[in-house]
């Protein structure tokens, strides 16, 4: 399974690279702040809502610490998506939030 650190994701965003981030945390966690431009799909909703996503687009999955996004990675990879887990999650994120 592919992984990027929070710092690597931040550096790519700051360099202007277009990334497709999916935040799989719960609503109350996201309300406290998420990475600008990320899409919120709670892990429990992922099996249904992922079918609205483009399978040709690579996605980076984010949660609080990296565990739930790792589970989301397994779910989406099993359906043929190109997914990468952001290790360390939002606990390791030092960039901007919205």
Residue positions annotated with a catalytic role = 63
Query: CA 7, CA 52: separation in Å to the nearest integer?
Result: 29
User: Residue 40: beta bridge partners?
Assistant: 23
Distance CA 36, CA 76 (A): 22
Q: Are 48 and 70 in contact (CB under 8 A)?
A: no
**Cβ–Cβ under 8 Å, residues 30 and 22:** no
């Amino acid at each position: 399974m592919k992984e990027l650190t929070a710092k690597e994701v931040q550096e790519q965003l700051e360099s202007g690279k277009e990334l497709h981030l999916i935040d799989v945390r719960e609503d109350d966690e996201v309300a406290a702040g998420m990475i600008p431009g990320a899409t919120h799909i709670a892990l429990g909703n992922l099996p249904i809502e992922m079918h609205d996503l483009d399978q040709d687009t690579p996605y980076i999955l984010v949660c609080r610490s990296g565990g739930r996004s790792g589970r989301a990675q397994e779910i989406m990879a099993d359906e043929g998506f190109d997914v990468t887990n952001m290790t360390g999650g939002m606990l390791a994120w030092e960039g901007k939030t919205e």
